[in-house]
C-alpha cells in the first residue's frame, strides 16, 4: 500500500471511522474486552472476540452480537488457527487489542495463592502471570501482526498498567492507625513485572513495524472500581489527583483513538489513563 493510500482523511469524523475494519480483541469475554468491542463497533469497526473461556465467550458473543473464536493466547497453534479462520471468513486483520490477562478467577492454580505475599509467592502463579500477560501478548503480535505488515496497515493496542510504570503503593492494602482494616488482596509482583514488559515490548514492535504501516501502542489504565471495599476505594482515591478510581467505560475513548486514523502519526506510545496517579 502506498503512502498516499495510507494518508488519513482531513476530517476528524472520518479519521475516527473504522469503516468495517476487522478488530480482534483477546480477552474479549472480559469486562474490559467487552467495553473495547463496543467502542470499536460504535466507530463502524467489526469486533471479533477471542477468549479461552468457552462459556463466557459464548455469552459475550450472544449478548453483544459479535463473532467469536476460542483460543488460548499462550498456544501459538490455536492462535494461528484463529488467524486463518478470520482471514478466510472476514478477509483481513486490521486492529488487534491484547486485553487477555491472568485474573484470580482465571488462574489454574489455587486462587487462594493468587494474592500471597511476595515472600510466599507461588511459582506456578508467577509463571502463569508472565506466560499469559507477557508471552501471550508477544504470541498474539507474532501471529496476528504479519497480516497487517503484509497489507501495509494496521493498529495494535497492548494493555499495560499504571503499576507497570510505578510501584504499587503497598499502604493501600495494609491496616492503618485510623481504623482502616486493610484488604485481603494486593498487587502481585508478576503483574507489575509483566505489565512493565508489555510496555517495552510495545516500543520494540513499534520500531520494528513502523516502516510497514503498522502502529503499535499501549494504554496503561489505573484500577477500575467494581464492587471494591469502600474503605479500600477511599485509600486508593486519596492517592489519585482526581480523587477516584476509573470507571470501566473511561478507556473506550483511548482505544478508539489508537485504533483509528485519528492517531495515524502515533506509535510506540503508552497512553496512561490513571487520573494523574503516576504524576505524584
Residues 11-41: tens digit of each pLDDT = 999 999 999 999 999 999 999 999 999 999 9
Q: Which residue has the higher pLDDT, 265 or 2?
A: 265
> Is 80 exceeded by the pLDDT of residue 46?
yes
> Is 70 exceeded by the pLDDT of residue 3?
no
Per annotation, catalytic residue among 31, 66, 173, 191: 191
Note whether 164 and 192 are within 8 A (CB): yes
Confidence (pLDDT) at 112: 74
114 to 10, 71, 106, 128, 226: CA distances (angstroms): 49, 23, 10, 10, 19
| CATH code of the domain in which 123 resides | 3.40.50.720
Class of residue 278 by CB neighbours under 10 A (exposed 0-12, middle 13-18, buried 19+): middle
Confidence (pLDDT) at 7: 79
Residue 63 belongs to domain spanning: 3-279
> Is 90 exceeded by the pLDDT of residue 211?
yes
Domain count, the chain: 1
Rounded to an integer, the average pLDDT of 166-194 is 91
- Determine the Cα–Cα distance for residues 154 and 238; give it in Å rounded to an integer: 39
Confidence (pLDDT) at 54: 94
**Least reliable range by pLDDT among 84-93, 141-150, 183-192:** 183-192
Known catalytic membership, residue 66: no
> Is 70 exceeded by the pLDDT of residue 107?
no
154 to 81, 93, 211, 267: CA distances (angstroms): 20, 8, 12, 11
Amino acid at each position: 500500500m502506498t503512502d498516499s493510500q495510507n494518508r488519513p482523511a482531513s476530517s476528524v469524523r472520518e479519521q475516527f471511522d473504522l469503516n468495517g475494519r476487522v478488530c480482534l480483541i483477546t480477552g474479549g469475554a472480559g469486562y474490559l474486552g467487552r467495553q473495547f468491542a463496543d467502542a470499536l463497533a460504535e466507530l463502524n469497526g467489526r469486533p471479533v472476540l477471542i477468549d479461552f473461556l468457552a462459556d463466557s465467550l459464548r455469552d459475550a458473543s450472544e449478548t453483544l452480537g459479535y463473532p467469536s473464536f476460542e483460543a488460548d493466547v499462550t498456544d501459538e497453534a490455536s492462535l494461528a488457527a484463529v488467524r486463518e479462520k478470520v482471514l478466510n471468513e472476514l478477509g483481513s486483520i486490521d486492529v488487534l487489542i491484547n486485553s487477555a490477562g491472568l485474573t484470580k478467577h482465571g488462574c489454574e492454580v489455587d486462587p487462594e495463592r493468587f494474592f500471597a505475599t511476595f515472600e510466599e509467592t507461588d511459582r506456578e502463579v508467577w509463571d502463569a502471570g508472565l506466560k499469559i500477560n507477557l508471552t501471550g501478548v508477544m504470541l498474539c503480535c507474532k501471529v496476528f501482526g504479519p497480516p497487517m505488515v503484509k497489507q501495509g496497515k494496521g493498529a495494535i493496542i497492548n494493555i499495560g498498567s499504571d503499576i507497570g510504570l510505578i510501584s504499587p503503593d503497598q499502604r493501600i492494602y495494609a491496616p492503618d492507625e485510623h481504623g482502616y482494616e486493610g484488604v485481603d488482596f494486593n498487587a502481585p509482583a508478576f503483574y507489575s513485572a509483566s505489565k512493565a514488559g508489555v510496555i517495552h515490548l510495545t516500543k520494540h514492535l513499534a520500531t520494528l513495524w513502523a516502516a510497514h504501516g503498522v502502529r503499535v501502542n499501549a494504554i496503561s489504565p489505573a484500577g477500575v472500581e467494581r464492587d471494591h471495599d469502600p474503605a479500600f476505594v477511599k485509600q486508593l482515591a486519596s492517592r489519585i489527583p482526581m480523587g477516584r478510581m476509573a470507571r470501566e467505560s473511561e478507556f473506550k475513548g483511548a482505544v478508539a483513538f489508537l485504533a483509528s486514523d485519528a492517531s495515524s502519526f502515533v506509535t510506540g506510545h503508552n497512553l496512561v489513563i490513571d487520573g494523574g496517579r503516576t504524576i505524584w
